[in-house]
Structure 1
Amino acid sequence: MREPTMIDGNSNASSSPLPPPPQALLERLKDYGQEDVFALWEELSADERDFLVKDIEGLDLPRLDRIIRCSLRSQALPVAAIEPVPENSVSTVEERSMEDRERWWKMGLKAISGGKLAVLLLSGGQGTRLGSSDPKGCFNIGLPSGKSLFQLQAERILCVQRLAAQAATEGSGGSAQIHWYIMTSPFTDEPTRKYFESHKYFGLEADQVRELVTFFQQGTIPSVSTDGRFIMETPFKVSKAPDGNGGVYSALKSSRLLEDMASRGIKYVDCYGVDNALVRVADPTFVGYFMDKGVSAAAKVVRKAYPQEKVGVFVRRGKGGPLTVVEYSELDQSLASAVNQQTGRLRFCWSNVCLHMFSLDFLNQVANGLEKDSTYHLAEKKIPSIHGFTMGYKLEQFIFDAFPYAPSTALFEVLREEEFAPVKNANGSNFDTPDSARLLVLRLHTRWVVAAGGFLTHSVPLYATGVEVSPLCSYAGENLEAICRGRTFHAPCEISF
């Protein structure tokens, strides 16, 4: 028998008997086979019973029942056959001309200066694997400047705004303001807001913050046992977890932010994950490409480095079916290693790196469509519960779940050494560490400086160092000649105004 727990100084030691569970709520739970949440009711204090009732009343039981049943059923179904994405349906680096790049860059800057682009940051994760309890975006990967991921991304947005404003003065003008929508989770929301406040929003004026930055939270969903029953974190609380980065669609809808975007005249939404030190936020070239193709959804992709690389890949489901992503854990090893005999490259080679572009019209469609579908991915985990760690499922939707809904999709290849430096694991791991990301940044920026006529000296071996170029100086290596030509920089260092 469990010792009585006290929440607010009250125990269940009382001269008068405590009431049974609310009958109507109990009947509703029975309808969905979830009445076990009241299994320890008799052992709870009055405060605990009140907490449990409110916890259950806050759940949309019909919706959750539909999601759980559909997801468990989907897991038991055979996976549809997949086909590689045809090479000719991807805009590869080799095939793009300088004229195309310049045209897309100018188109993108014009759209940005006209206020048509929003940036959507997926920032619900904590840095647990990095050895930090802070939100991932707060992490400092060890660059000479000491800037966090949040600051690097904020300064890239500020740089693009400046470039768009400059382009607008040469044309018809424009506001060149980019609204930044930042999705947090219940675990990261408060520390993220405080971090931005303590760093004065990384350069935004105080009166701009309300207009240009919006925080909102993704939802949570109960974790369930293998037979679909809610797992109890404590005797009076259902275990819940964030609903995956694909929860952004329903969160945008429930927060009425899709309406907010429309009211601002936004047409395109650049969506990315926080844990990429080289992410080109609000990339004008990608915006221009997206507009030029006239598609509903697009993704930047990199070529898979080797068959066992832990990245999802874009595929087609079925013969000529919709474009979607298969996670590395779901891709059979024989398919992961299969080679195209004509090109000598992996057949399934286009890696998803969470760099997406959507039209606002499409986001509105997806916000309704994904919810109707109600199929979530089941992640089998050891979940803390009243019985210790229990094997069960966390239910998640992924950002790429939207792609099968798109009437038209485009893939845009980028070079990983220019745009993909993931920060996922603590230093000492074999891949995707702060150290590896820092070196990717320093090496790229070193190439920029040398191309702009600068010189470097090193106090440590060249392979372990380099220079950092402040995003406020250059977005993608442009406009560095005046700063770098003929100058010598002692690495490691930051180059700034």
Structure 2
Amino acid sequence: MKEIVIGSDAAARRGGTPPPPPPQALLERLKDYGQEDAFALWDELTPDERDLLVKDIESLDLPRIDRIIRCSLGSQGLPLPAVEPVPESSVSTVEQRTSEERERWWKRGLKAVSEGKLAVVLLSGGQGTRLGSSDPKGCFNIGLPSGKSLFQLQAERILCVQKLAAQSTDGSAGIVPIHWYIMTSPFTDEPTRKFFESHKYFGLEPDQVTFFKQGTLPCVSSDGRFIMETPYKVAKAPDGNGGVYSALKSSRLLEDMAMRGVKYVDCYGVDNALVRVADPTFLGYFIDKGVAAAAKVVRKAYPQEKVGVFVQRGRGGPLTVVEYSEMEQSMASEINQITGRLRFCWSNVCLHMFTLDFLNQVASGLEKDSIYHLAEKKIPSIHGYTAGLKLEQFIFDAFAYSPSTALFEVLREEEFAPVKNANGATYDTPDSARLMLLRLHSRWVVAAGGFITHSVPLYLTGVEISPLCSYTGENLEAICRGRTFHAPSEITF
């Protein structure tokens, strides 16, 4: 173990006064957890830098961080539990649903919204780095005719559901706001808040939007030692989108939800241009099933597709997600001999529904177990970029704690248009997401009796329907029937 020398001979030889020693109590605490190297360059720091280092170390919950590091490193290399395909009884497939069920779920979901029982949680901690932008991903404009950002599309879908819920009760109760909890990161918090303020919350009431930050954890070497970003700052990284659970708990927002009468929580990622925020059908299905957790899923397109899939941990065990990198190729390619489809086919697309009671349980369970995923990354450090580990939890880690989970199949072309890579990549680009949205909305126009003209091939363009007009293609006849729209364009009131 490295000894921290207090007061250097070098300083004395230079004729200077030896620097004051590090705070003894803090140094002893670091020694207790094997992290005293954080003070290794103490003698070389200026007084201001020493103050910054002390404040940085004092801000860390050392017992918690030590537990997380030990548990996470200790779980490395352990064999994965045996997994089975998801039982058919756990999945509502598109082909099985009747129109009566869909209508019943839609009405039941709208009723719950009108009673203030639904809250929405948005995972929005990421920057658009891979998109060529330093702004939060939600600020990104994918090139729609309207020029709307992802944030605006999602806000307007919330406004639409609120209106539909009020209409479902004959408007007697008025519009009941859906509270929107938006998780940012230390890098996106301020610009996200400013973006909402400058756009007047996209028509939402400011007091129905709550921002909260996900946590960070120190980056560590393979033996669990802190990596120093500078001589006076520990390198840290966000704790993954699964950090939403501890962030909701530590921010007392789970209590805030309970105080508002919330029973159900819709949770999703920001980078899906087709996400149906606060989907009444999904909510009604969730309530109908009486489960603790549910997820929308799409069928895996091909064995090598880089998506996590839902599995059952052992026969009769909980449903959970296995990342594509953790699944052997032979298993990923297995075919169900009866259906001719992949045995492990239900892709997780980060569209989840939880009861508030379950969120309280999972926040406590994840904190108690303290096992995080280890991501090998190049970490900026005092030695340049160095190999290290980021500690992350994933949103789907919650499912391992659920006593009952249901999966709800949706069609990729209707509800999943991810925006992850810059244009020019082969998939999940702004261009691909924009085309998916325009094609979907063009189908809505035709179904409502409208016509579309276009100067370029229609498969390269289409029309955009404002979410303020329609949520899933409903109520468009009065706007579209007998009318012709030129693509590309936006259809609004």
Cα deviation, 1:126-180, whole Å, max 9, x if unaligned, reads: 000000000000000000000000000000000000000111126x635421000
Contact map agreement 2:318 2:404 (CA 8 A) in 1: no
Amino acid at match of 1:22: P
Could you tell me which residue of structure 1 aligns to residue 475 of structure 2?
A: 479
Could you tell me which residue of structure 1 aligns to residue 411 of structure 2?
A: 415
* Aligned 1:61-140 pairs, distance under 5 A: 61-140=62-141
| Partner of residue 345 from structure 1, selected from 326, 330, 341 | 341
- SS of the equivalent of 1:76 reads coil
Amino acid at match of 2:182: I
Amino acid at match of 1:301: V
Could you tell me which residue of structure 2 aligns to residue 6 of structure 1?
A: none
Call closer, same or farther: CA 1:322–1:14 in 2, change over 3 Å.
farther
Residues in 2 aligned to 1:228 and 1:14: alpha-carbon distance in whole angstroms? 38
Residues in 2 aligned to 1:402 and 1:329: alpha-carbon distance in whole angstroms? 19
Cα deviation, 1:310-352, whole Å, max 9, x if unaligned, reads: 1110011122211110111111111111111111111110000
Residues in 1 aligned to 2:62 and 2:330: alpha-carbon distance in whole angstroms? 41
Contact map agreement 1:115 1:266 (CA 8 A) in 2: yes
Residues in 1 aligned to 2:199 and 2:462: alpha-carbon distance in whole angstroms? 26
Cα deviation, 1:350-399, whole Å, max 9, x if unaligned, reads: 00000000001111111111100100000111111111111111000011
- SS of the equivalent of 1:106 reads helix
Could you tell me which residue of structure 2 aligns to residue 183 of structure 1?
A: 183
Cα deviation, 1:434-455, whole Å, max 9, x if unaligned, reads: 0000000000000000000010
Could you tell me which residue of structure 1 aligns to residue 7 of structure 2?
A: none
Could you tell me which residue of structure 2 aligns to residue 320 of structure 1?
A: 316
Could you tell me which residue of structure 2 aligns to residue 195 of structure 1?
A: 195
Question: Quick one: percent identity of the two aligned structures?
Answer: 84
Q: Structure 1 residue 118: deviation in Å?
A: 0.4
Could you tell me which residue of structure 2 aligns to residue 5 of structure 1?
A: none
Number of aligned residue pairs = 480
Residues in 2 aligned to 1:31 and 1:338: alpha-carbon distance in whole angstroms? 49
Whether 1:449 aligns to 2:445 is: yes
Residues in 2 aligned to 1:101 and 1:188: alpha-carbon distance in whole angstroms? 38
Could you tell me which residue of structure 1 aligns to residue 424 of structure 2?
A: 428
Q: Structure 1 residue 15: deviation in Å?
A: 5.0
Residues in 2 aligned to 1:63 and 1:284: alpha-carbon distance in whole angstroms? 39
Could you tell me which residue of structure 1 aligns to residue 22 of structure 2?
A: 21
Whether 1:460 aligns to 2:456 is: yes
Amino acid at match of 1:124: G
- SS of the equivalent of 2:135 reads coil
Could you tell me which residue of structure 1 aligns to residue 230 of structure 2?
A: 234
Amino acid at match of 2:486: H
Amino acid at match of 2:424: G
| Partner of residue 209 from structure 1, selected from 193, 206, 209 | 206
Could you tell me which residue of structure 2 aligns to residue 360 of structure 1?
A: 356
Amino acid at match of 1:84: P
Contact map agreement 1:222 1:238 (CA 8 A) in 2: yes
Q: Structure 1 residue 462: deviation in Å?
A: 1.3
Q: Structure 1 residue 186: deviation in Å?
A: 0.3
Structure 1: 4+ residue segments shifted above 2 A? 13-17, 172-176
Could you tell me which residue of structure 2 aligns to residue 399 of structure 1?
A: 395
Q: Structure 1 residue 461: deviation in Å?
A: 1.1
Amino acid at match of 1:265: G
Q: Structure 1 residue 422: deviation in Å?
A: 0.2
Cα deviation, 1:93-131, whole Å, max 9, x if unaligned, reads: 000000000000000000001111001100000000000
Contact map agreement 2:453 2:486 (CA 8 A) in 1: yes
Amino acid at match of 1:51: L
Could you tell me which residue of structure 1 aligns to residue 9 of structure 2?
A: none
Residues in 1 aligned to 2:108 and 2:151: alpha-carbon distance in whole angstroms? 27
Residues in 2 aligned to 1:325 and 1:15: alpha-carbon distance in whole angstroms? 59
Cα deviation, 1:446-482, whole Å, max 9, x if unaligned, reads: 0000000010111111110000000000000000000
Q: Structure 1 residue 27: deviation in Å?
A: 1.3
Contact map agreement 1:129 1:425 (CA 8 A) in 2: yes
Residues in 2 aligned to 1:89 and 1:181: alpha-carbon distance in whole angstroms? 29
- Structure 1: which 5+ residue stretches go unaligned? 1-12
- SS of the equivalent of 2:265 reads strand
Residues in 2 aligned to 1:153 and 1:473: alpha-carbon distance in whole angstroms? 13
Q: Structure 1 residue 404: deviation in Å?
A: 1.1
Could you tell me which residue of structure 2 aligns to residue 379 of structure 1?
A: 375
Cα deviation, 1:29-64, whole Å, max 9, x if unaligned, reads: 111111111111111111111100110111111111
Could you tell me which residue of structure 2 aligns to residue 36 of structure 1?
A: 37
| Partner of residue 298 from structure 1, selected from 282, 294, 298 | 294
- SS of the equivalent of 1:141 reads coil
Contact map agreement 1:119 1:269 (CA 8 A) in 2: yes
Could you tell me which residue of structure 1 aligns to residue 327 of structure 2?
A: 331
Give RMSD over aligned pairs: 1.1
Could you tell me which residue of structure 1 aligns to residue 155 of structure 2?
A: 154
- SS of the equivalent of 1:75 reads coil
Could you tell me which residue of structure 2 aligns to residue 220 of structure 1?
A: 216
Q: TM-score, normalised by structure 2?
A: 0.96
Once the two structures are overlaid, the 10-residue window that deviates more, 393-402 or 16-25, is 16-25
Contact map agreement 1:279 1:419 (CA 8 A) in 2: yes
Residues in 1 aligned to 2:334 and 2:44: alpha-carbon distance in whole angstroms? 58
Could you tell me which residue of structure 1 aligns to residue 3 of structure 2?
A: none
- Structure 2: which 5+ residue stretches go unaligned? 1-13
Contact map agreement 1:115 1:175 (CA 8 A) in 2: no
Could you tell me which residue of structure 1 aligns to residue 169 of structure 2?
A: 168
